[in-house]
Structure 1
Amino acid sequence: MGKPTGFLDYERKNAKAEAPLERIKHFNEFHTPLSREEQEKQGARCMACGVPFCQAGQMLGGMMSGCPLQNMVPEWNDMLYMGNWEEAYYRLSKTSNFPEFTGRVCPGLCEAACTCNLNGDPVGSKGNELAIIENAYKKGYAHARPPKVRTGKKVAVIGSGPSGLATADQLNHRGHSVTVYERRDRVGGLLMYGIPNMKLEKHIVERKIKIMKEEGVTFITNCNVGVDVKPEQLLKEYDRVVLCCGAANPRDIKAPGRDAKGIYFAVDFLTATTKSLLDSNFADKKFIPAEGKNVLVIGGGDTGNDCVGTSIRLGCKSVTQLEMMPKLPDTRAENNPWPIWPRVCKTDYGQQEAIAKFGHDPRIYQTTVQEFIKDKNGNVKQAKIVKLESKKDEKTGRMMMVPVEGSEFVLDVELVLIAAGFLGSQDYVTKAFGVNVDGRTNVATEPGKHATNVPNVFTAGDMHIGQSLVVRAIREGRDVAKEVDESLMGYTNL
């Protein structure tokens, strides 16, 4: 700990965000980093607590508390304060494969569990993490480091999202020859197409992929394993196969009129937007248009928020976001104490932009769609919305959100985006490999393990644990790599 009174001497400062009405004019990241001097002060606020909950990564109250990667947060915060940026990078890279991703898109589990967050503002560890890795790229510390010795073992990783990339990165550094298969035209999975450009510019992803290629990882794109390539071929060619295909089945909305034109899953909308942006800066017109339309987003999570921000950038006339559950409190409830993840209302960038542009919060709580209404050409023109209330189910005893009779109202909508979450892995992959799945269609393994019922086939990420965070997917990738390495070598030093 470099400065015992740091949390008293310095206030928390965040990277400055561009004003909402300005940033909606483009699809670029919109935060200006702090100066080097100010970032070091932010590191000084870390007190190297006797029990650093920031790096615990434990489930508390059914939610993750602290960093799942066990990042040594107090160590690199202290090094940052001392001006030792290079050593801070080396400490960070011991536990984190992609701080350039998590520093941008992670919700900051470390900050939520920070001791300073109990009675004040938490240490800005997420901003410090991003500053450390970006400085490392600028100074040349984050260069390619190919393994000096190869083991002769070959591993195929199916899927290039955060878990697949982490798996490949770890196994490659161990000396195994790794090939990553990606069904889309670009590497990155949800990092490339599921997260909008304004949260994670794609040259950031490509920069890391370039380094991984220089270190010896092979990437094969436009190859849909289970369709273009049969599992038998991979199992014959490779010593081990790791399935990291994500939880790609979107949850649908079952309501009359669902077959109307103009209703899309959020993932399809976001993917088409990003691909068109990258391919032609929208000149190819291959994105789902929102210009001049009343947009309805169904779902109140991060993906729903991304749809709000993207729709505004594409020139929508209005945007409404439906949330089934009641509005969360603005401050912690008594049954949600620190260091459990704070279940409080968050107004994210997309909602901020909607407020600035349209003058009101786009969210309507405790609502769902009762019916989609079509025009004479089969296009969606309206949505009948109904209010919900919480009631106990007499059969199960569980609290359920049920419609309130007589509460219906109608919204004019020409574009509907369903962002209601994901249900699990896609069965064409699991059936092709013959792996068992659980009741949620996640690939089944023994508790705490990643080996499937099929010899030499492993799994990780959302395909294994269900829809979750990028940082948890990276943790999964690191864990499965360790298990695969041990199965290949008889021991592991990962």
Structure 2
Amino acid sequence: MGKITGFLEYERVKEAYEAPQARLGHWREFVATLTDAEAKKQGARCMDCGIPFCSNGCPVNNVIPDFNDLVYKQDWRRALDVLQSTNNFPEFTGRVCPAPCEAACTLNINDDAVGIKSIEHAIIDKGWSEGWVTPQPPQRKTGKRVAVVGSGPAGLACAQQLARAGHFVSVFEKSNRIGGLLRYGIPDFKLEKSHIDRRLAQMEAEGVEFYPSTYVGNPEDAQEGLTVRTPESLRAEFDAVVLSGGAETPRDLPVAGRELQGIHFAMDFLRQQNKLNNGDRLRGQISAKGKHVIVIGGGDTGSDCVGTSNRQGAVSVTQFELMSRLPEVENKPLTWPYWPAKLRSSSSHEEGCERDWAVSTKCFEGKDGKVQKLVAVRVEWVKDKATGQLKMREVEGSQFDLPADLVLLAMGFVHPVRKVLDAFGVDVDGRGNAAADTDSYRTSVDNVFAAGDMRRGQSLVVWAIREGRQCARSVDEYLMGTTTLPR
């Protein structure tokens, strides 16, 4: 390493945020990239630890010590080359990844981890600003054609890798714009869509063709106004088909009053705001303005609902989590280098939100068909002596209620849309995902592959990128008999 004692000399420096009250007035990103000097010090903190657990903790296996050292030496161009050798879209992960690499950092055993995510953010932003991120078209075409269904991070990563290998790649997306979850699932204040647009321009220059507003499946299942491509037509026209859609079936809350107006799935709420920010006109927008908002679910999607509700002008925002409150500091000797279970607060929580844990919703009550109140009860989790499993038990006399004009269900996703999988006739696993292993990514149907959330289930953007890259390698090997694409 360039600075052997850097981890002893320098403290971790966090990226600067715009003040909460200022950023609530707009939908733009509010995180400042590290300066060159700050990034240099963060790179210097990377230890000569021998075994880079950070690289193993990173789903795409970024070569983290190398680009940390290059940033310390201010060799930004080579740092970018190292970063892009394993990650097609570091501008996405540098903004929205929870950074499992930092949890696995050796320095994290007894100190603050190296700011790996902030360094990644700085490298790719400098790469774009300096004009170093350019199209990489193949030197020759193979004549093989691949259809990619779904344009989220898995589909885009797979498409880019296959195009660079020389195949003709077409990406089909049912939404009116390309990007999948990146476009319509992540709020603009976390990921501005200009980052997606410039990647799409790069990919088009590399030969990828995009077909938005196109539904792939049985015609009777398509929404009105969409172009329809049947599985039979794709399999006949293309040498391989990759299913890379998201886990889009949300977990519901089947309690009394669920049918009342004002209770919505989180992604419907978030998608609408992103569409508005993109210039679309909507009828009957789900709005938090002037309302008491309750978000059920304590994960990232719930946090995004909090930030969006506050920007829309909610009177109050309350977020519930069914599980007990986690400790603020993990037991590092017990959990390192694995991802720890601990309390995490997002930038959206800092902007204003009441949070509560170990709360179960009993029912919703309303008037004239509209929700007005949520009735809940406190619960405790008790270990079953026979099985050792935790079981939920209501706390007697703990029932309470809260005013609720808008309820957002952010409890995760259970599996992909089955109509698409059924249309292709692929087998599914016990969780309802496309059945395919991580060696070949092949489904039970010849020349049909699956990657990302559609194969793995609900997961992170960085995991989707990994799956897309690995699936591309398998497709290339299937088409050509051999491959030079990395795993």
Cα distance in 2 between the residues matched to 1:406 and 1:11: 48
The match for 1:421 is 412
Cα distance in 2 between the residues matched to 1:12 and 1:341: 19
Could you tell me which amino acid in structure 1 is paired with residue 118 of structure 2? G
The match for 1:461 is 452
Shift of 1:391: 3.2
The match for 1:6 is 6
SS in 2 for 1:488: helix
Shift of 1:284: 5.4
Answer yes or no: is the 8 Å Cα contact 2:247–2:416 preserved in 1.
yes
Answer yes or no: is the 8 Å Cα contact 1:41–1:81 preserved in 2.
yes
The match for 1:96 is 87
The match for 1:487 is 478
SS in 2 for 1:492: coil
Shift of 1:232: 0.2
Answer yes or no: is the 8 Å Cα contact 2:382–2:393 preserved in 1.
yes
Could you tell me which amino acid in structure 2 is paired with residue 90 of structure 1? D
The one of 342, 360, 370 aligned to 1:368: 360
The one of 123, 129, 136 aligned to 1:138: 129
The one of 338, 350, 353 aligned to 2:351: 353
Shift of 1:22: 1.3
**Identity score, percent:** 50
The match for 1:290 is 288
Aligned residue runs from structure 1 range 18-417, under 5 A: 18-56=18-56, 66-226=57-217, 227=219, 228-279=228-279, 287-333=285-331, 336-354=334-352, 362-375=354-367, 377-392=368-383, 398-417=389-408
Could you tell me which amino acid in structure 2 is paired with residue 261 of structure 1? Q
Could you tell me which amino acid in structure 1 is paired with residue 357 of structure 2? Y
Q: Give TM-score scaled by structure 1 length.
A: 0.94
Shift of 1:45: 1.1
Cα distance in 1 between the residues matched to 2:438 and 2:463: 16
Answer yes or no: is the 8 Å Cα contact 1:154–1:177 preserved in 2.
yes
SS in 2 for 1:224: strand
Q: Deviations over 1:104-153 (max 9, x none)?
A: 00001111111111111111111111111111111111011211111000
Q: Give TM-score scaled by structure 2 length.
A: 0.95
Q: Deviations over 1:259-303 (max 9, x none)?
A: 0000000000000011011115xx756531111100010000000
Could you tell me which amino acid in structure 1 is paired with residue 300 of structure 2? D
Higher mean alpha-carbon deviation, 334-343 vs 306-315, is at 334-343
Change (3 A) 1:352 1:217: same
The match for 2:222 is none
Cα distance in 2 between the residues matched to 1:159 and 1:336: 39
Change (3 A) 1:138 1:446: closer
Cα distance in 2 between the residues matched to 1:396 and 1:42: 46
Q: Deviations over 1:23-80 (max 9, x none)?
A: 1111110012222122112111112420000001xxxxxxxxx101110000011111
Q: Deviations over 1:165-221 (max 9, x none)?
A: 010011011001100000001111000010000100011111111111111100000
Answer yes or no: is the 8 Å Cα contact 1:15–1:127 preserved in 2.
yes
Cα distance in 1 between the residues matched to 2:447 and 2:14: 46
Q: Deviations over 1:427-474 (max 9, x none)?
A: 110110000111211111246431000000000001111111100010
Change (3 A) 1:334 1:277: closer
Cα distance in 2 between the residues matched to 1:11 and 1:83: 19
Cα distance in 1 between the residues matched to 2:67 and 2:438: 32
Change (3 A) 1:254 1:209: same
**Count of aligned pairs:** 476
Cα distance in 2 between the residues matched to 1:303 and 1:113: 24
Could you tell me which amino acid in structure 1 is paired with residue 301 of structure 2? T
Cα distance in 1 between the residues matched to 2:432 and 2:365: 32
Could you tell me which amino acid in structure 2 is paired with residue 143 of structure 1? T
Cα distance in 2 between the residues matched to 1:488 and 1:223: 25
Answer yes or no: is the 8 Å Cα contact 1:276–1:285 preserved in 2.
no
Change (3 A) 1:331 1:395: closer
The match for 1:430 is 421
Could you tell me which amino acid in structure 1 is paired with residue 268 of structure 2? D
Change (3 A) 1:273 1:286: farther
Cα distance in 1 between the residues matched to 2:387 and 2:441: 33
Shift of 1:394: 8.2
Change (3 A) 1:335 1:442: farther
SS in 1 for 2:59: coil
Matched, 1:444 2:435: yes
Shift of 1:363: 1.2
SS in 1 for 2:278: helix
Q: Deviations over 1:376-429 (max 9, x none)?
A: x20000010111111356886632223223211111000000000000111110
SS in 2 for 1:260: coil
SS in 1 for 2:214: coil
Could you tell me which amino acid in structure 1 is paired with residue 337 of structure 2? P
Could you tell me which amino acid in structure 2 is paired with residue 468 of structure 1? S
Could you tell me which amino acid in structure 1 is paired with residue 232 of structure 2? E
Could you tell me which amino acid in structure 1 is paired with residue 272 of structure 2? A
Cα distance in 1 between the residues matched to 2:13 and 2:393: 43
Could you tell me which amino acid in structure 1 is paired with residue 60 of structure 2? L
The match for 2:462 is 471
The Cα RMSD (Å) is 1.5
Answer yes or no: is the 8 Å Cα contact 2:173–2:215 preserved in 1.
yes
SS in 1 for 2:401: strand
Cα distance in 1 between the residues matched to 2:431 and 2:408: 23
Residue ranges of structure 2 left out of the alignment (5+ in a row): 220-227
Shift of 1:345: 0.6
Could you tell me which amino acid in structure 2 is paired with residue 364 of structure 1? D
Could you tell me which amino acid in structure 1 is paired with residue 323 of structure 2? M
Answer yes or no: is the 8 Å Cα contact 1:276–1:287 preserved in 2.
no
Answer yes or no: is the 8 Å Cα contact 1:48–1:75 preserved in 2.
no
Answer yes or no: is the 8 Å Cα contact 2:324–2:381 preserved in 1.
no
